[in-house]
Amino acid sequence: MQVTIDKNSGYCFGVEFAIKMAEDEMEQSDKLYCLGDIVHNDMEVKRLSEKGLVVIDRDQLQELTNCKVLIRAHGEPPETYRTAIQNNIELIDASCPVVLKLQHRVKTAFDKMEKEQGQIVIYGKKGHAEVIGLTGQTLEKAIVVMGDSDLDKIDFNRPVTLFSQTTKSTKGFYEISQKIEERIKKAKGELTELDYNANDSICRQVSNREPQLKKFAEDNDVILFVSGKKSSNGKALYQVCLSQNPRSYFVENETELDPEWFHFGDKVGICGATSTPMWLMEQVKSYVESMEEKFLPA
């Protein structure tokens, strides 16, 4: 078998930056707290925990004092920074610059919408770390939507400004945006710039992977998509592979591989999410290559 790792897969800039900051900090001390999993990949979280990274939640943050806490790439709401000041916590802020810019845009739009009796709508996963940071810019007034049923939360007689979680599917964003437009037209009889403002805030480092992945999936007989099950970006990119190649399989690591997926002479492509470390994809590649002797010609 020929086994290839997609050169465009692996960490995005924001995740790579956060992990580098964590590792640099842990070289100076044997313990560093991190607010939530630094990346949605259990194996990478385990590797870093063995180096001294301690994952905490927001309730635990309230109890900490006089220590260092890493803010991961997803960003945090204003409340987290207030808590840090009150508890004398030094924040190691690894928020992705793309996310920070989006937070500022959401805050600016929210202030405008408040004056116009409008609404901020965010296309994203409710409870996702990045979305929590975004809704925090709106005093928790933003409406989070994922599917058609969520649209009922919106008052279509009032102005709407739409943003997206940076790691969501571009296709999904434009589909939900179109549905919002249609609902506003139905409610008001027309659609003006004052009624609706859609902002495609998806990270281009993420969205540009979709066309690249489509070609990669087409060029291989079998696709092994390596990702943590918690990764929103991973779920979206896996669907891109599956749409092009029905022999695409979602795995967290090499232990989930099934010999039945492979045939002698297959071209096997390995790819992953923006939260998938390269070392893990290389580990899967080595395992597939070691399995090759088990496969017989059809």
- Supply the pTM of this predicted model: 0.86
Give the single-character DSSP code of 268.
Answer: E
88 and 62 within one domain: yes
Say which DSSP state 31 is in.
-
**Runs of H (alpha helix) within 27-77:** 42-49, 58-63
Q: What strands, in cross-sheet order, belong to the sheet with 53-56? A: 53-56, 32-35, 68-71, 90-93
Residues 176 and 220 reside in one and the same domain = no
| pLDDT(13) > 70 | yes
The number of distinct structural domains making up the chain is: 3
Q: What is the DSSP string of 70-118?
A: EE-TT---HHHHHHHHHTTPEEEE---HHHHHHHHHHHHHHHHHHHTT-
Supply 106's token pair.
């959401």
pLDDT score recorded for residue 295 = 57
- Of the candidates 260, 257, 238, the one whose C-alpha atom is nearest the C-alpha of residue 248 is 238
pLDDT tens for 277-295 read 999 999 999 999 988 766 5
Inter-CA distances, 218 with 1, 203, 208, 223, 226, Å: 17, 24, 17, 9, 17
Name the active-site residue from 44, 130, 210, 252.
130
| Beta pairing class for 222-226 and 267-272 | parallel
**62 in Cβ contact with 69 (< 8 Å):** no
SS3 271: strand
The residue out of 76, 96, 116 marking a domain boundary is 96
Same domain flag for 137 and 175: yes
- What is the maximum span of the chain, computed from C-alpha positions, in angstroms? 70
pLDDT digits (tens, 9 = 90+) for 45-80: 999 999 999 999 999 999 999 999 999 999 999 999
pLDDT-based confidence at 169, cuts 50/70/90?
confident
Provide the pLDDT for residue 296: 46
Residue type, 89: I
131 and 69 in a common domain: no
Q: Which residue has the tokens 């930056």?
A: 17
Main-chain dihedrals φ then ψ at residue 229, nearest 5 degrees: -70, -15
Name the residue range of residue 116's domain: 98-165+168-201
| 108 plus 195 within the same structural domain | yes
Burial of 118 (0-12, 13-18, 19+ CB in 10 A): buried
Mean pLDDT over the full length of the chain: 93
Q: Is 79 among the catalytic positions?
A: no
Please check whether residues 124 and 139 belong to one and the same domain: yes
The domain that contains 131 carries what CATH number?
3.40.1010.20
